[in-house]
Amino acid sequence: MPGGADGVHASRQKGAGISFIENRPYVFGDDVRAINWPLTARHGSPIVKRYEASRELILWLLIDPSPSMFTGDPVAPLRWAIELAGAATAAIMAGGDRLGLIVPGDKNSPAIRIAPRRGQIACQSVLDAIAGLAPRVPFAQDWRDSLGRWTSGGRNQHVWLISNGDGLSGLGALLKPVAARHRTVWFCPVPNSEGHPVFWAGNDAPSGVELQAWDVADDPVVRLGQWLRLGA
């Protein structure tokens, strides 16, 4: 699978902005204010400086709250999810980007949806909401209600689904249009990453979703750092 350095860092676009990219020969139509005059004098022909503009990243954490996420040996998948989310919030705060949270409800509990915001207080509210979760049994309609109209709008956001697969029945069809427009990664904790089958309840995992199946006994913060460096 591809690495994910752009999974938690703002993506970059070429154009007018704040970070230098390169010097290159002047092309008709370039902004004359971008001419590098000292370099132009040395080369004897116009040279312009190119810059890049940062684009704010929006990262959604999509957490599966099914009962099997709360039990496990040596580590419960939800505890693993909290540590992974904590690492994500650190990167989000460092980049000045925005973090949001979606957790489906069930017949006893309402859905949790925290709109993407930036800053320490916003990120802490996401972590507190995950840490305070109690088991839920979401069905397809519960996932649909929690995702809302977001499944049919927007582009170029990032979605991290954190689940061991048990509570995902009915989610695949809903994530298919999301994965077509947003980078969507499924972080799946497994009891033994070597040869352990990855299970998506309902067998409707959509194409376009990147899979990161990591041993639940491994430190997810370390694994995330390794994954990010591979994509750097």
- Does residue 2 lie in a domain region? no
Residue 54 confidence (pLDDT): 52
| 35 and 93 fall within a common domain | no
pTM: 0.77
- And the tokens for 158? 């990032």
Q: How many CA atoms lie within 13 A of 116 on its CB side?
A: 17
Signed CA dihedral, 41, 44, 46, 50: sign only = negative
Residues 111, 162 within the same domain: yes
Residue 107 and residue 165 in one domain: yes
- Half-sphere CA count of 57, side-chain side, radius 13 A: 26
Counting other chains too, the contacts that 180-184 makes at CB distance below 8 Å and 24 or more residues apart are 180/208, 181/154, 181/155, 181/156, 181/157, 182/154, 182/155, 182/156, 182/157, 182/158, 183/6, 183/7, 183/156, 183/157, 183/158, 183/159, 183/210, 184/158, 184/159, 184/208, 184/209, 184/210
Q: Cα angle vertex 88, ends 220, 180, to 5°?
A: 100
Domain shared by 86 and 196, yes or no = yes
In tens, the pLDDT along 182-195 reads: 999 999 999 876 66
**Domain coverage including residue 38:** 12-54
Task: Note whether 23 and 82 are same-domain residues.
Answer: no
pLDDT in tens, 19-56: 466 788 988 888 888 888 988 898 899 998 876 555 67
Q: Are residues 131 and 96 in the same domain?
A: yes
Q: What is the CATH number of the domain that holds 93?
A: 3.40.50.410
Q: What does R_g of the chain's alpha carbons equal in angstroms?
A: 21
- Residues 206/171, Cβ–Cβ less than 8 Å: no
pLDDT of residue 123: 95
| pLDDT, position 55 | 64
**Residues shown for the chain:** 232
Do 127 and 50 fall into the same domain? Answer: no
> Residue 179: CA atoms inside 13 Å, Cβ hemisphere, count?
18
Taking only the tens of pLDDT, the chain with its 232 residues reads 344 434 454 343 433 334 466 788 988 888 888 888 988 898 899 998 876 555 678 999 999 999 999 998 789 999 999 999 999 999 898 888 999 999 999 999 999 999 999 999 999 999 999 999 999 999 999 999 999 877 666 678 899 999 999 999 999 999 999 999 899 999 999 987 666 788 898 888 888 999 999 999 999 999 998 888 776 4
Q: Tell me if 76 sits within 8 A of 134, measured CB to CB.
A: no
DSSP string, 49-89: EEEEEE---EEEEEE---GGGG--SSS-HHHHHHHHHHHHH
Residue 222 lies in a domain: yes
Considering the domain architecture, whether residues 89 and 111 belong to the same structural domain is answered as yes
